Amino acid sequence: MSKDNKNSKDFSRRKFIGTIAAVAGAGVAGAAIGVNIESAHGESIGVDKLSNKIIPFYGKNQSGILNDAPASAIVCSFDIVTTGKQSLQDIFKILSLEIEALTQGKNIEEVDRKYPPIDNLVNGESPDVDELTITLGVGASIFDDRFGISEKKPKELIEMQNFPNDRLDKKRINGDLVIQICAQHSETCLRALRIVMRKTRNSLVLKWLEQGFVQPNTLESGKTSTRNLLGFKDGTSNPNPKDSKTMNNLVWVDDSSDEPTWAAGGSYMAVRSIRMFVEHWDRTSLDEQEVIMGRHKHTGAPIGKKNEDDIPVFHKNPHSNQISVDAHIRLANPRTKETEKNIILRRGYNYSRGFDSAGHLDQGLLFISFQKSLNDGFLAVQKRLNGELLEEYIQPNGGGFYFVLPGIEKDSFLGEKLFAS
């Protein structure tokens, strides 16, 4: 072999190894910042591009409740550090302007380069909206004596307290305001959160935050179920969000409700951070897992059925040896005439916080539900679930109860009716 040929082969080998290393490094970087990496053939091998779909902001009800749930979410709660009715109005006005601008894709113009940029550019110079929705709600504490609206409090709105299996962290529950941010990519949610926090930094202090995710595209086309971190399908028996009659009966407060006039078009929101002891679950037999849940793990079908959407008929076998009387699906929704009013609209996400001080994975479910009545909805369901078999594997540790403000039309702001005399 000639010296030239040897050097040529050595160079080619070094170049090949260097190219592999560069591609690997680019892949890691791409995954970290959520960009697309292209193969040698021009094919996208990274994260999907941002969606250009815009979810309407104006309307009788806020968005982020009935529309298909995208792949990423942030739910966070804030305490208000200012006082007075005018201060609260100003907060709602600022939030309304920012939510409209972010969700409708309005350009953020930089004013002076001598000052910090208004847009953090997490999603680039001209990002697509990415199906972004931002939903605003209020907690019970906002109706104390700070803002002069105590008489406007929704009738059933309370602060979340411990249920028997809960270990609620006081630093991770309740709060004056709740903001739910949903989009197809986590960067979109983070960008929106940072812009909102910057605009309200003089009046709002972040109390707690949970970041959630589901598998992309699993909730498209009206589907309501996805896999939770126990490996089971979650949200199978959700009511159809496209059925307006059902939503009016179960989700939206209306003029016939025993609620303040301003609340029509709003909804009660329950948020629960539910830790799952996944290592313990992974050491549990498949048979026992399915008995606890009442569903087949692979298909999502009720035990004894074939399809996920098959309806279990509990009343024909009240002491069923097929689906246990204390199985999760049987307690959550007994499917009786009397419990129809207890059906809630769920919007769940998975979360992962890394691991705890004992080296155990800290993972779980960011549970969100919307209901016309907190008493008839979440609270009634939770009372039936107290003591269920699943409690050995889960433990709620955060969240809160809130009232989602009604939607608005142009030239008004979220919460405006709260201040009407």
Q: Where are the domains of the chain?
A: 72-415
The pLDDT of residue 235: 87
133: number of Cβ within 10 Å: 25
74 vs 181: CA distance, rounded Å: 5
**What's the pTM?**
0.86
Where the chain has pLDDT below 70, the residues are: 1-48, 110, 217-224, 315-321
The pLDDT of residue 341: 96
421 vs 416: CA distance, rounded Å: 11
The pLDDT of residue 335: 92
CB 193 within 8 A of CB 76: yes
Q: Which two tokens stand for residue 26?
A: 């680019």
pLDDT in tens, 210-243: 999 998 766 555 566 789 999 999 988 899 999 9
The pLDDT of residue 102: 95
Instruction: Give me the half-sphere count of Cα atoms (radius 13 Å) on the Cβ side of residue 168.
Output: 16
The pLDDT of residue 259: 97
**What are phi and psi for residue 250, nearest 5 degrees?**
-110, -25
CB 194 within 8 A of CB 181: no
213 vs 189: CA distance, rounded Å: 11
Q: Let me know how many helices (H) and strands (E) the chain has, helices first.
A: 8, 11
373 vs 138: CA distance, rounded Å: 15
6 vs 4: CA distance, rounded Å: 5
What residue has token string 């709003």?
266
- One DSSP character per residue, 127-195 reads ---TT-EEEEEE-GGGGSSSSS-GGG--TT-------TT----GGGB--SEEEEEEESSHHHHHHHHHH
